[in-house]
Amino acid sequence: MARRDFIVGGALLTFTLAGCEKKMTPAQARAAEVPFRTLDARTVAVLDALGEILLPGSAAAGLSHYIDHQLSGDAADSMLMIKYLGVQAPFTVFYKSGLQATDTLARTVYGKAFPGLSNEQASALVTKMSGGQVEGWQGPPAGLFYFVLRSDAVDVLYGTRAGFEQLGMPYMAHIEPPSRWGE
Amino acid sequence: MTSPTQTPASPPRDPVDVIVVGSGAAGSNMAAHLAEGGKRVLILEAGPARGPGHLISSTLYARRVKWTGPPVLDEGKNPVGFVFNSAYGTGGAAMHHYAVWPRMHPEDFDMHSRHDRGLDWPLKYVDLAPYYDEVQQEAGVSGDATKEIWRPAGAPYPMPGVPVFPQGSAIARGFTKLGKSVAPLPIAVTSTNYNGRPTCLWDGWCDSGCPIGALANPLTVHLPRAASAGAQLVNDAAVTKVLTSADGTRAIGVEVALKDGTRQTVNAKLVVLAAFAVENPRLLLASATAKHPQGLGNSGGFVGRYVMTHAAGLVYGLFDEDTRPYMGAFGGQLVNQDSYPKTTHAKSGAFGSYQWMIAQAVKPNDLLGISTTRPDLFGPALHDFMKRATRGFAGMTAVCEDLPVADNRVTLTDQRDTHGVPIARVTHTTHDESVALWKASLAEGKEVMRAAGANEVWTGPQGSMHIMGGTVMGSGASSSVTNGFGQLHDIPNLVVAGPGLFPTSAGVNPTFTVHALATRSAEHLLANWRQVAG
């Protein structure tokens, strides 16, 4: 295995593209338009839009592919922050219903789907969600959902060697994150 | 010699002397000492095999080392944070522990007698002190006993104190300005080469597990010793029941579910439960028989009770100077125990002890990462904060004593795991006087950060660190589950090891005390083998 494979992303996962397994970072999986396994297109659109409000750049970094990949595998191998937060696996329902609730909130308040909102409108809704008190919210607790998605966005953008380097933080690994999922 | 990571797929068919359930700090310690004492020891670990190669330097991959066993319902106003605070696999939670190893203080052992709060331990500090000395020598602890003015009597540390990086110096300035002192944080991490182990690189990857042998986790210290002395470790071996004799007076072995779905009975003269503070009471309760209808060791009704977790007093500051907050150990660089006397903050309605772990190494993300200290920020403001904090962040954590409350407890639910064993519910709501202590720690912490010159000072929510109690030791079955050696009052050859034994939580991290208790218990069991194991 080439040393290069270790260094590229710090979170290379195995995605399936055209029937072949391929090692990619979530960002590469996004660029290659790897098909989603658990999330549908509409949910992904809300997730990408929410990710961009929470941490600009996280959608391009492959937030949706990362979450889809994690939700599609064995919960015991999950690397999602939600593990720590008292929510029982599997976590798909949490994500799907939270994203659905986010979209419904946008339609109720602004009469538009969440991905169609302006930055100001979307940020105003996310501020409400972060406070945990959202009238008519139907999903997992809004504050918890905000915290989880925000953590995921930070994980994807800053939780890798590339992310550390963006911040000027030395990575100093003993063992680099492996290049193939499941090893 | 068998490597602890090359293990057989199933337990032996013939009886052994000792079965140890769990391979974490307590289990690996007991296994090493009992095997070295000539006993045939079998360690049954419910989780998968893990070696140094699994300890990947990544906050994301670290999450795969944490608990992935049967679900635990984590409830109450202040849940114990079971998944984050435990682990699944070889080495248990100690594989990713931060190795902050201060001693408990004499006043921790008789709090009920002194203050009419909590419970008394069935032993005193002087009973445990020689074992702290022994353990710190074998595991290696770095510290400065002279500078640690609060430290109870004991042998000096075998390694010098850990280095102080700019984050530590910045916060220390605040303590000094307020007339308080700091000392190197006592940690079981190598500040020099030690017994063939290399010096730590101070890269802050402790939470992912230390693969280089700098941090005293079970893979580095006790599991190799246990293996050398002939102990066998079987992974993916979930004990489903402790088996007892027909008259109910003795443990005779365990029933274990293996990875291939089969069940096996293994007999032993002594059974040690070292599966942590929630799984131990779960097993005792789930092993009920006609002779023990409320569960094993539960004639007094105390199995599962007095679960405790330290409230984390999280205080942060942002400085102009480059604090290099990513350098050092995850546990911290410096300690202050000025607030150890139990009534220090009585005026605030608080009771109990706390210590500061000062200047903990941080990463950008994860539960204890920089980004999570400001969960309110998102968007461009979060990017901006991340960049500023990478240069100027500093943090410290108070380990706040949690008063034992009988209703904070582990119980069984009517849901069952894949092996048919009822899953556990752990309910925890912090005592008012402990909440007041946590608030007092935040007030002091903010004062220190301001005195240190931080431009911005803020605090975090009441986190949960460590899990203790649930199978507390004491003087008899009318008030506790085990004696001072972890033997069940009702069944003396069934022994509990680990922080579940603690009758009080103290204001310090538990693992050093877990080791001291386990070493003392193993010595007692060997010395009284005929009487205990027959």
B121-147 per-position pLDDT tens digit: 999 999 999 999 999 999 999 999 999
Q: By percentage, how much of chain B surpasses pLDDT 70? A: 99
pLDDT bin (cut points 50, 70, 90) of residue B6 is: low
The CB-side HSE value for B526 (13 A sphere, CA atoms) comes to 18
pLDDT for A9 beyond 60: no
Cβ of residue A150 closer than 8 Å to a chain B Cβ = yes
Q: Which residue of B has its CA nearest to A171?
A: B203
Given B59, B211, B371, which is nearest A175 (Cβ)? B211
pLDDT in the model for residue A2: 29
CB pair distance less than 8 Å for B79 and A159 = no
Given A81, A123, A176, which is nearest B57 (Cβ)? A176
- Three-class DSSP category at A25: coil
Given B201, B211, B376, which is nearest A130 (Cβ)? B376
- Shortest Cα–Cα distance, A41 to chain B (Å): 24
pLDDT for A14 beyond 80: no
CB pair distance less than 8 Å for A175 and B53 = yes
Contacts of B84 in chain A (CB under 8 A): 84
**Mean pLDDT score, B19-34:** 98
Mutation target vs A (from B55, B57, B85; most A CBs, 10 A cutoff): B57
**Mean pLDDT score, B287-313:** 98
Residue A94's closest CA among A56, A147, A140, A39?
A: A140
pLDDT for A140 beyond 90: yes
Cβ of residue A110 closer than 8 Å to a chain B Cβ = no
Helix ranges (DSSP H) in B212-335: 222-228, 276-286
- Shortest Cα–Cα distance, B212 to chain A (Å): 8
Cβ of residue A26 closer than 8 Å to a chain B Cβ = no
| Rg for chain B, CA atoms, rounded | 22
pLDDT for B167 beyond 70: yes
Contacts of A173 in chain B (CB under 8 A): 57-58, 203, 205
* DSSP code at position B485: T
Q: Which residues are registered as beta bridge partners of B272?
A: B20, B495
Sign, Cα dihedral of B16, B22, B23, B26: negative
pLDDT in the model for residue A17: 67
pLDDT bin (cut points 50, 70, 90) of residue B330 is: very high
pLDDT tens digits along B431-458:
999 999 999 999 999 999 999 999 999 9
pLDDT in the model for residue B267: 98
- Shortest Cα–Cα distance, B278 to chain A (Å): 15
DSSP conformation letters of B53-69: GG--S-HHHHTTTS--S
Q: Tell me if B455 sits within 8 A of B318, measured CB to CB.
A: yes
pLDDT for A10 beyond 80: no
pLDDT bin (cut points 50, 70, 90) of residue A18 is: low
Least confident of A105-109, A178-182, B471-475: A178-182
pLDDT bin (cut points 50, 70, 90) of residue A24 is: confident
Contacts of B57 in chain A (CB under 8 A): 171-177
**Average pLDDT score over chain B:** 96
Distance from C-alpha of A42 to C-alpha of B376, rounded to nearest angstrom: 27
pLDDT bin (cut points 50, 70, 90) of residue A181 is: very low
β-pairing, B41-44 vs B16-21, is parallel
pLDDT bin (cut points 50, 70, 90) of residue A5 is: very low
CB pair distance less than 8 Å for A154 and B363 = no
Cβ of residue A53 closer than 8 Å to a chain B Cβ = yes
pLDDT in the model for residue A22: 76
Given A10, A53, A163, which is nearest B378 (Cβ)? A53
Q: Which pair of structure tokens corresponds to residue B54?
A: 């699994």
Distance from C-alpha of A175 to C-alpha of B111, rounded to nearest angstrom: 45
pLDDT for A15 beyond 90: no
Q: Give the pTM.
A: 0.95
pLDDT bin (cut points 50, 70, 90) of residue A25 is: confident
Distance from C-alpha of B306 to C-alpha of B421, rounded to nearest angstrom: 23
Q: Which residues are registered as beta bridge partners of A24?
A: A13
Residue B353's closest CA among B150, B507, B152, B467?
A: B507
Higher pLDDT pick, A58 / A16: A58
pLDDT in the model for residue A20: 73
CB neighbour class for A168 (10 Å; exposed up to 12, middle 13-18, buried from 19) = exposed
Contacts of B79 in chain A (CB under 8 A): 86
* Residue A91 to residues A43, A88, A121, A147, B72, Cα–Cα distance (Å): 15, 7, 28, 15, 15
pLDDT for A11 beyond 80: no
β-pairing, B72-75 vs B183-184, is unpaired
CB pair distance less than 8 Å for B61 and A81 = no
Cβ of residue A183 closer than 8 Å to a chain B Cβ = no
pLDDT tens digits along B265-294:
999 999 999 999 999 999 999 999 999 999
The residue type at B277: A
Given B59, B63, B390, which is nearest A83 (Cβ)? B63
- Show Cβ contacts of residue B532 under 8 Å, excluding neighbours closer than 6 positions: B270, B487, B492, B493, B525
pLDDT bin (cut points 50, 70, 90) of residue A21 is: confident
**Mean pLDDT score, A105-129:** 97
Contacts of B53 in chain A (CB under 8 A): 175
Helix (H) or strand (E) holding B211: none
Residue A70's closest CA among A49, A92, A55?
A: A92
Provide ipTM, 2 decimals.
0.94
**Mean pLDDT score, B463-483:** 97
Helix ranges (DSSP H) in B291-405: 380-392
- Show Cβ contacts of residue A3 under 8 Å, excluding neighbours closer than 6 positions: none
* DSSP code at position B155: P
The residue type at A125: L
Residue B499's closest CA among B475, B467, B521?
A: B467
β-pairing, B409-416 vs B393-400, is unpaired
Contacts of B326 in chain A (CB under 8 A): 169-170, 172
Distance from C-alpha of B135 to C-alpha of B131, rounded to nearest angstrom: 6
Higher pLDDT pick, B331 / B84: B331
pLDDT bin (cut points 50, 70, 90) of residue A88 is: confident
pLDDT in the model for residue B8: 76
pLDDT tens digits along B336-382:
999 999 999 999 999 999 999 999 999 999 999 999 999 999 999 99
Residue B21's closest CA among B511, B520, B498, B509?
A: B498
Main-chain dihedrals φ then ψ at residue A125, nearest 5 degrees: -65, -40
pLDDT for B505 beyond 60: yes
Cβ of residue A182 closer than 8 Å to a chain B Cβ = no
Distance from C-alpha of B84 to C-alpha of B65, rounded to nearest angstrom: 10
Q: Using the structure block, give the residue that is written with the tokens 């070696």.
A: B51
Give A59-63's long-range contacts (Cβ < 8 A, gap of 24+): A59/A30, A60/A27, A60/A30, A61/A26, A61/A27, A61/A30, A61/A156, A61/A157, A62/A25, A62/A26, A62/A27, A62/A28, A62/A29, A62/A30, A62/A156, A63/A26, A63/A152, A63/A153, A63/A156
CB pair distance less than 8 Å for A159 and B84 = no
Sign, Cα dihedral of A174, A175, A176, A177: negative
- Shortest Cα–Cα distance, A155 to chain B (Å): 6
Angle at B529 between CA B525 and CA B534, to 5 degrees: 130
Distance from C-alpha of B417 to C-alpha of B420, rounded to nearest angstrom: 5
CB pair distance less than 8 Å for B372 and A126 = no
pLDDT for B334 beyond 80: yes
- Shortest Cα–Cα distance, B205 to chain A (Å): 8
Q: Which residue of A has its CA nearest to B62?
A: A79
- Three-class DSSP category at B22: coil
Cβ of residue A74 closer than 8 Å to a chain B Cβ = no
Least confident of A18-22, A91-95, B309-313, B495-499: A18-22
CB pair distance less than 8 Å for A86 and B74 = yes
Distance from C-alpha of B119 to C-alpha of A87, rounded to nearest angstrom: 33
CB pair distance less than 8 Å for B71 and A88 = yes
pLDDT bin (cut points 50, 70, 90) of residue A77 is: confident
Q: Tell me if B229 sits within 8 A of B35, measured CB to CB.
A: yes
Residue B466's closest CA among B311, B292, B246, B360?
A: B311
Q: Which residues are registered as beta bridge partners of B311?
A: B400, B464
CB pair distance less than 8 Å for A174 and B365 = no
CB neighbour class for B526 (10 Å; exposed up to 12, middle 13-18, buried from 19) = middle
Given B52, B66, B204, which is nearest A83 (Cβ)? B66
* DSSP code at position B499: G
Helix ranges (DSSP H) in B203-289: 222-228, 276-286
Distance from C-alpha of B411 to C-alpha of B182, rounded to nearest angstrom: 41
Sign, Cα dihedral of B245, B249, B250, B253: positive
Main-chain dihedrals φ then ψ at residue A147, nearest 5 degrees: -60, -45
Given B363, B371, B390, which is nearest A168 (Cβ)? B390
* DSSP code at position B20: E
pLDDT tens digits along B191-247:
999 999 999 999 999 999 999 999 999 999 999 999 999 999 999 999 999 999 999
Cβ of residue A144 closer than 8 Å to a chain B Cβ = no
Q: Tell me if B314 sits within 8 A of B360, measured CB to CB.
A: no
Contacts of B365 in chain A (CB under 8 A): 151, 154-155, 158-159, 163
CB pair distance less than 8 Å for A126 and B378 = yes
Residue B520's closest CA among B190, B216, B122, B185?
A: B122
pLDDT in the model for residue A89: 87
* Residue B362 to residues A126, B59, B77, B130, B370, Cα–Cα distance (Å): 27, 10, 28, 34, 6
pLDDT in the model for residue A180: 39
Angle at B260 between CA B258 and CA B263, to 5 degrees: 45
